[in-house]
Amino acid sequence: MHDRPPSGSAAPVRVAGPALVLLIGSGAERAAVRAFAPEEVVESDGDLGPALEAERVAVVTVERYDAATVRLLVAIAQERDRPVDAVLVGDAAGVTLSRSRFRSITVADAASFVVDRVPGAFDHRDLTGPFDVVGDVHGCLDELVALLGRLGYAVARDDVGRAIGAHHPEGRTAVLVGDLVDRGPDVPGVLRLVMGMLASGDGLAVVGNHDDVLRRALLGAPVPMDVGLETSLRQLGRETPAFRQAVADMIGALPAHLLLDHGRLVVAHAGLEQRYHGHESARVRSLCLFGPTNGEADAQGMPVRLRWADDYRGRAAVVYGHTPTSGPAWTNRTICVDTGCVLGGALTAVRYPERTLESVPALAVHSAPPRPFLPAP
């Protein structure tokens, strides 16, 4: 599918975090000199690899649009897990590009556009905590409220008693590892509470694989239907269209992973190896949502997941969920805090930087476990 990009000479070119920026069209070279720092501009016939591996913006100009050249440059960026932003200027303003290959496509006036530089969605290194990282909730509202209370948060409620936010008097921030939805008894309640915490700055979250599938279903995309998703859709069907749209928007805005505390803490739904911290690509997103697998299925027909944490040697602490365990334990500076609440286990959080644990037991077996919990490391 090809899209025409948004246009307008006053529209700023938004560049988020380390990325490849392709300036395409007549006047691109002059625009690059005007709008970007000299060290950011890479000659089109130069070695792009080192520039992409560095933690900065790399700008390449293509004065005459050539599809093969653009495909090659995009492929180089994808190989290094960097997003690509395209800026069309001059005679390239009418070019159509494949949306799937670019994070953004903007039409701009080569002589006047400005660059709006922002951190990547994953980049919250300026936030130093303290944090409380909460495992997979899966619609278990009562257990989430109980765990937040145990962690010291005051839960706010609306005029009909629904939880709509939670604030810690000592300024702690709750971080959700994803999979807020499916299987549990009150998916809308969990979403309402978490959306309130995100809006107030009392919480952060990453997207989980179940969240992502629900978002696509709410937007009308064909997705495989299972019992968990059917539960979410049935419960959300009792909410307003505006609420369902807000849920889809919220999930769509969640990053696949978070860098916190100057990069000392990483949160991703299924974890993330060190070499991918701070990178954005389809590959990184898949690893964050599902973790590495060996391509085989177990006796229950589920993917065999590789124990990446056994070989982790990174400096950052990595907190993740996705795979229910019988009990959380630190392994090489990583910890899985999914203790299977919706499956009758517990809802667990790890305090950071203290690295202490807090749990509340599940109030019921809300959904039958598809396979046994993994043993604690």
Cα 213 to chain centroid, rounded: 13
305 neighbors 323 (Cβ within 8 angstroms): yes
The per-residue pLDDT for range 150-187, each reduced to its tens digit, is: 999 999 999 999 999 999 999 999 999 999 999 999 99
Determine how many CB atoms are found less than 10 A away from the CB of residue 23. 29
The per-residue pLDDT for range 107-158, each reduced to its tens digit, is: 999 999 999 999 999 999 999 999 999 999 999 999 999 999 999 999 999 9
| Structure tokens belonging to residue 176 | 């959700």
pLDDT at 14 over 60: yes
Average pLDDT for the chain? 93
| Structure tokens belonging to residue 156 | 């706010």
Question: What are the two backbone dihedrals, phi and then psi, of residue 150, each rounded to the nearest 5 degrees?
Answer: -65, -30
Burial readout 223-241 (b: 16 or more C-beta within 10 A, e: otherwise): eeeeebbebbbebbeeeee
Residue 320, CB half-sphere, CA atoms under 13 Å: how many? 27
Question: What are the two backbone dihedrals, phi and then psi, of residue 116, each rounded to the nearest 5 degrees?
Answer: -100, 105
Tell me which of 56-60, 87-91, 243-247, 296-300 is least confident: 296-300
Domains, the chain, ordered by start? 2-118 (3.40.50.300), 123-361 (3.60.21.10)
Q: Which residue, 342, 341, 346, is CA-closest to 357?
A: 346
Q: Are strands 13-16 and 115-118 parallel, antiparallel or unpaired?
A: parallel
Q: 270: pLDDT confidence band, cut at 50, 70 and 90?
A: very high
> What is the reported pLDDT for 109?
93
Determine the Cα–Cα distance for residues 311 and 314; give it in Å rounded to an integer. Answer: 9
DSSP conformation class of 331: B
The per-residue pLDDT for range 284-308, each reduced to its tens digit, is: 999 999 999 877 766 666 677 788 9
The per-residue pLDDT for range 311-332, each reduced to its tens digit, is: 999 999 999 999 999 889 999 9
> What is the reported pLDDT for 43?
83
Tokens 């598809």, residue?
Answer: 370
Residue 54, CB half-sphere, CA atoms under 13 Å: how many? 12
> What is the reported pLDDT for 375?
65
> What is the reported pLDDT for 374?
63
137 neighbors 341 (Cβ within 8 angstroms): yes
pLDDT at 376 over 70: no
Query: In degrees to the nearest 10, what's the CA dihedral of 268, 272, 277, 278?
Result: -40
Mean pLDDT across the stretch 346-352?
98
pLDDT at 1 over 50: no
Please state, in angstroms and as integers, the Cα–Cα distance from residue 61 to each residue in 41, 42, 81, 344, following that order: 8, 8, 20, 56
Please state, in angstroms and as integers, the Cα–Cα distance from residue 256 to each residue in 44, 110, 236, following that order: 31, 33, 23
DSSP conformation class of 254: -
DSSP conformation class of 314: -
| Largest pairwise CA distance in the chain | 65
> What is the reported pLDDT for 370?
75
Positive or negative torsion for Cα 5, 207, 255, 154: positive
97 neighbors 34 (Cβ within 8 angstroms): no
9 neighbors 108 (Cβ within 8 angstroms): yes
Q: Which residue, 13, 4, 70, is CA-closest to 40?
A: 13
Determine the Cα–Cα distance for residues 122 and 129; give it in Å rounded to an integer. Answer: 15
pLDDT at 199 over 70: yes
3-state secondary structure of 123: strand
Cα 45 to chain centroid, rounded: 34
> What is the reported pLDDT for 301?
63
Mean pLDDT across the stretch 351-367?
97
* Inter-residue long-range contacts of 305-308, CB under 8 Å, 24+ positions, other chains counted: 305/270, 308/271, 308/273
pLDDT at 91 over 80: yes
- Give me the residues paired with residue 176 across strands: 134, 205
